[in-house]
């Protein structure tokens, strides 16, 4: 019986040794095969390592480009602000020049209309007359433009102007001559010019007086028997500005 047990143990050891030998030989074969063909695991390959290095370089390059673009953008923004300021200044200058040109054209038109065709410039002409309210209560400022040419015996055109205002006061029609309407006691205005003259002044009306017409009389001299008389409707010559 002991011989039988010994035989079984010997067979078991032989089988175990055989299996171990087979696995050992198989391991050697696998190791040899791997060695011959190389270990090609993707995340362990040299190619993947190079790809990681290339990606890092690309990130650094892109970060550099972003910084450069940010710098360029800041420069463009500063330049744009300067250019916009220059454009606004240029617009302001052009507006001022346009206004100046308009004023010059208006002045030129005024001088062109001082003398018209078929006009007897030996007479004194009233070319413009207007009124506007003064800051003082019931005081009115007038502006008057006269034109004419001196006679051969004169160096200048000279004379006097009479001013009167028609209206109602407590439902009564009245005419206020210049001495009644103005703080100045003189009843006439004087003028003296070679070709034209602008005259301005002011007068004050009573509180309850409602003006309706303004009358002007222009005399080349105080003894002139034929004054130039012009009447204006109050609303036509009065402006609130």
Q: What SS3 class is residue 205?
A: coil
What pLDDT score does 65 carry?
Answer: 87
pTM of the model: 0.48
The answer, yes or no, to whether residue 167 has pLDDT greater than 90, is yes
Question: Which stretch, 65-69, 122-126, 146-150, has highest mean pLDDT?
Answer: 65-69
pLDDT, tens digit, for every residue of 190-220?
888 888 888 888 888 898 899 999 999 888 7
For every residue of 61-79, DSSP letters joined together read: HHHHHHHHHHHHHHHHHHH
Give the pLDDT confidence score for residue 202 in this predicted structure: 86
Measured CA to CA, the distance from residue 172 to residue 166 in angstroms comes to: 11
Average pLDDT over residues 97-104: 82
CB atoms within 10 A of CB 8: 9
Question: In which band, very low, low, confident or very high, does the pLDDT at 41 lie, cut at 50, 70 and 90?
Answer: very low
| CA distances to 81, 86, 227 from 75, in Å | 10, 17, 76
Q: What are phi and psi of 114, to 5 degrees?
A: -65, -35
Once rounded to an integer, what is the mean pLDDT over residues 170-199?
Answer: 73
Euclidean distance between CA atoms 187 and 200, whole angstroms? 15
Mean pLDDT over residues 10-31, rounded? Answer: 60
Average pLDDT, integer, range 4-14: 54
For domain 125-239, the CATH class is mainly beta
- Grouping H, G, I as helix, E, B as strand and the rest as coil, residue 117 is coil
C-alpha separations of 6 from 15, 19, 57, 111, 218 in Å: 14, 20, 71, 149, 164
Between residues 163 and 50, the one the model is more confident about: 163
CA gap 107, 32 in Å, rounded: 111
pLDDT of residue 222: 59
Q: What is the pLDDT of residues 74-100, one digit of tens each?
A: 888 888 888 888 888 888 888 888 888
Each residue's pLDDT tens digit, 149-158: 777 777 888 8
CB 228 within 8 A of CB 166: no
60, pLDDT greater than 60: yes
How far is it, in rounded angstroms, from Cα 19 to Cα 103?
119
User: CA torsion 16→18→19→24, rounded to 10°?
Assistant: 120
Bridge partners, residue 196, by sequence: 147
d(CA 59, CA 30): 41
Q: Which residue has the higher pLDDT, 229 or 239?
A: 229
Top pLDDT among 129 and 18 is at 129
- Measure the CA angle with vertex 75, ends 70 and 80; round to 5°: 125
Which has more pLDDT, 137 or 223? Answer: 137
- Residue ranges of the domains in the chain? 2-39, 125-239
pLDDT at 57: 83
């Amino acid at each position: 019986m002991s011989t039988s047990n010994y035989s079984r143990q010997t067979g078991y050891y032989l089988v175990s040794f055989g299996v171990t030998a087979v696995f050992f030989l198989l391991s050697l074969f696998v190791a040899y095969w791997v060695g011959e063909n190389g270990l090609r695991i993707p995340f362990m390959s040299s190619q993947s390592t190079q790809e990681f290095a290339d990606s890092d370089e690309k990130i650094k390059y892109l970060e550099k480009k972003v910084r450069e673009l940010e710098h360029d953008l800041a420069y463009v923004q500063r330049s744009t602000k300067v250019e916009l300021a220059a454009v606004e200044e240029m617009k302001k200058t052009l507006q001022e020049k346009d206004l100046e040109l308009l004023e010059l054209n208006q002045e030129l038109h005024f001088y062109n209309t001082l003398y018209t065709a078929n006009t007897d410039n030996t007479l004194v002409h009233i070319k413009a007359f207007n009124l506007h309210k003064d800051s003082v209560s019931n005081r009115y400022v007038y502006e008057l433009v006269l034109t004419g040419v001196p006679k051969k015996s004169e160096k200048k055109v000279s004379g006097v102007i009479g001013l009167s205002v028609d209206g109602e006061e407590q439902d009564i029609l009245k005419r206020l001559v210049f001495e009644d309407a103005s703080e100045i006691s003189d009843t006439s205005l004087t003028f003296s010019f070679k070709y034209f003259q602008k005259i301005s002044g002011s007068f004050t009306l009573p509180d309850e007086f409602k003006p309706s017409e303004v009358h002007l009389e222009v005399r080349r001299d105080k003894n002139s028997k034929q004054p130039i008389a012009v009447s204006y409707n109050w609303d036509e010559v009065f402006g609130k500005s």
